[in-house]
């Protein structure tokens, strides 16, 4: 499922052009600016107190096309991973049972959040929420590839994998993977589009 809001048409063209360049070297893309806030360690996943300890996201920086110094590479990786983590925690993990997923898309633009809400069965655990007792993440990975121009990241994509175990009236393992397209807007990273797939895990 690919979602690129019409309101982000200008940004979409920029990312699409970058994606063509990055495809030549097996990469995707992300955005940055001079006023990037300092990032910290990605937060851990939520989990039931009596269950196994929550796992942390394994974040990596993929290929960077163009020059980007070590400090900006590290900051880019951390900040984008934090956006992905916030979405995973809010949309797939947390407290269950529940039916309210209105806050499932932090860090998404208004248009992308509306699209994700329409795709709630894919982009969150809303489909099963009322029948679950807990959801435990068993794998969380994010890889950030970037295109840099004049020593700054100007286009980007976060590639992620989430594996999870759903427990309750519904018992199943699932895997969600794909790409989130982000832009840096008003001092924060925002997801403006996505290409996500979901299926049964092992």
| pLDDT, tens digit (0-9, with 9 covering 90-100), for 109-125 | 999 999 999 999 999 99
| pLDDT, tens digit (0-9, with 9 covering 90-100), for 144-184 | 988 788 887 777 799 999 999 999 999 999 999 999 998 87
pTM: 0.76
Domain ranges of the chain: 2-194
CB-side exposure of 118: number of CA atoms within 13 Å?
Answer: 11
Q: In this model, does residue 14 exceed pLDDT 50?
A: no
Question: Could you tell me the CA-to-CA distances from 19 to 14, 91, 100, 104, 127 in Å, in that order?
Answer: 9, 27, 35, 27, 32
Q: What share of the chain is helix, strand, coil (3-state, %, to 5)?
A: 30, 40, 35
The encoded tokens of residue 144 equal: 């950030």
Which of 8-17, 51-60, 149-158 is the least confident region?
8-17
């Amino acid at each position: 499922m690919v979602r690129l809001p019409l309101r982000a048409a200008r940004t979409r063209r920029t990312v699409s052009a970058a994606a063509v360049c990055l495809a030549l070297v097996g990469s995707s893309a992300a955005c940055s600016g001079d006023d990037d806030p300092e990032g910290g360690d990605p937060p851990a996943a939520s989990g039931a107190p009596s269950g196994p300890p929550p796992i942390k996201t394994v974040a990596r920086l993929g290929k960077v096309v163009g020059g980007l110094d070590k400090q900006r590479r590290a900051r880019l990786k951390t900040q984008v991973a934090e956006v992905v983590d916030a979405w995973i925690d809010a949309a797939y993990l947390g407290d269950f049972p529940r039916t309210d997923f209105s806050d499932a898309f932090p860090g998404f633009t208004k248009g992308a959040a509306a699209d994700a809400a329409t795709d709630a069965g894919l982009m969150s655990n809303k489909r099963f929420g009322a029948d679950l007792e807990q959801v435990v993440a068993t794998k969380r990975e994010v890889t950030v590839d970037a295109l840099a121009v004049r020593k700054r990241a100007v286009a980007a994509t976060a590639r992620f994998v989430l594996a999870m175990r759903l427990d309750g009236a519904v018992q199943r393992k699932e895997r969600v993977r794909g790409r989130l397209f982000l832009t840096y807007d008003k001092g924060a990273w925002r997801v403006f589009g996505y290409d996500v797939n979901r299926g049964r895990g092992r």
